[in-house]
Amino acid sequence: MKAIKTGIIGFGRMASNHHLTAMRETGLFDITAVCDITESRRQAAEEEGLSATDDINAFLDSDLELILITTHSSLHYESALKVSAAKKHMLIEKPLAVRGPEAEEMIQAAADNGVMITAYHNRHYDGDYRLVKAAVRDGLIGDIITVENRTMGARPAVGFGVPDYNQEWRVTAQAGGGTMLDFGPHWVEQLLDLLQGHTVVSVFADVRNIKWGDAEDLFDITMVFDNGTRARASKADISYCNLPYKWVALGTEASLTYENGQNEYCTIHGPDYEMKRTKSVEQLSLHINIAEHIREGKELIIPASHALRVMQVLEAARQSGASGKSVDVAI
């Protein structure tokens, strides 16, 4: 397979420490160029043997085929429209956008220009979720009645990025910060994947800023599906609590729990038995999948439609959080 000529917009931690390494390891991407407004990030790119500029028009006026967008979340929309107009495929670090309508417009622009757009939901293959998904798919708990996917932390991810860059954007609403846009896409994506084939018909959410900056540092989202299943995604960055279970699912035949801090098994609780389940769903490379989609037309693991559903749920959660009422949807 011919390597895909690739450029990167936004050379922060996820681009430099994660995507660059992972994409190079596949041998399927020829990463040559970076566009970044920060001089130190351009210097870092040059140290990796990449050309670097702060002129996005010059960057896009090239023979690049695929653009990786790893800017602040608030810049995904603007960047994606420019990349679409330049008729280049794009992989966007989650969340796809800050708001649902932006995501819809981005996907439409990509379709109009005949290019691929997808979001990088890297936790699609988290060890805990792979265990839970395999147990559910193998029918060990019957049909899901309720399922919870939740965590609690003491602080947001400020300091997670490169050391010479202002990380306050992570708690600033205008920049697309806040835990709902940081972890909300992860937990919601997993639940939508777990319950694929069913439509979300209502969303109720508690979404608040309590402690950090002005962006949300708490979200608690309940989705109701067309088959009656209720799925809860929640995270709070207020004070640390080591919850005993990250996953709890009630099924028609048994229940399932996954203890925090280990990736070896989930536990199936039957009427007269308890079983530790170690089988998990096979982990595939999202980067390889994207290369195979562009070169061979292989179906995307995370298609634009799936990434859009995530954004639509988060948009409904914002509306519910603001009104204090459940929002009827068809997602």
Judged by DSSP in three states, 14 sits in helix
14 and 109 assigned to the same domain? yes
276 and 290 assigned to the same domain? no
Task: Please report whether residue 305 resides in a domain.
Answer: no
- CATH number for the domain spanning 291: value is 3.40.50.720
- CATH number for the domain spanning 271: value is 3.30.360.10
167 and 82 assigned to the same domain? no
75 and 28 assigned to the same domain? yes
Global pTM value: 0.94
From first to last of the 331 residues of the chain, give the pLDDT tens digit: 999 999 999 999 899 999 999 999 999 999 999 999 999 999 999 999 999 999 999 999 999 999 999 998 999 999 999 999 999 999 999 999 999 999 999 999 999 999 999 999 999 999 999 999 999 999 999 999 999 999 887 666 655 444 455 577 778 888 888 899 999 999 999 999 999 999 999 999 999 999 888 989 999 999 999 999 999 999 988 877 777 889 999 999 999 999 887 779 999 999 999 999 999 999 999 999 999 999 999 999 999 999 999 999 999 999 999 999 999 999 9
103 and 238 assigned to the same domain? no
Query: Can you say how many angstroms the Cα of residue 72 is from the centroid of all Cα atoms in its chain?
Result: 14
Q: Are strands 218-225 and 200-208 parallel, antiparallel or unpaired?
A: antiparallel
85 and 180 assigned to the same domain? no
Task: Please report whether residue 45 resides in a domain.
Answer: yes
Supply 138's token pair.
Answer: 């193998």
Q: What does the angle CA 168 – CA 323 – CA 328 come to, to the nearest 5 degrees? A: 110
Q: Is the peptide bond before 95 cis (omega within 30 degrees of 0)?
A: yes
87 and 185 assigned to the same domain? no
Supply 124's token pair.
Answer: 């699609």
Cα separation, 155 vs 80, in Å, equals: 30
83 and 229 assigned to the same domain? no
Find the DSSP H helices in 119-274.
127-137, 179-182, 184-194
Task: Please report whether residue 132 resides in a domain.
Answer: yes
193 and 69 assigned to the same domain? no
Question: Which residue, chain included where needed, has tokens 């330049």?
Answer: 86
Task: Please report whether residue 232 resides in a domain.
Answer: yes
Overall domain count for the chain: 2
113 and 196 assigned to the same domain? no
Full residue range of the structural domain in which residue 20 is found: 4-123+285-300
Residue 160's identity, in one-letter code, is F
> Which string of DSSP letters, residue by residue, matches 193-207?
HHTTTS-EEEEEEEE
Cα separation, 308 vs 304, in Å, equals: 6
Task: Please report whether residue 83 resides in a domain.
Answer: yes
Task: Please report whether residue 210 resides in a domain.
Answer: yes
Cα separation, 14 vs 71, in Å, equals: 9
106 and 179 assigned to the same domain? no
Cα separation, 151 vs 146, in Å, equals: 17
**Burial, 121: exposed, middle or buried (Cβ in 10 Å; 0-12, 13-18, 19+)?**
buried
181 and 95 assigned to the same domain? no
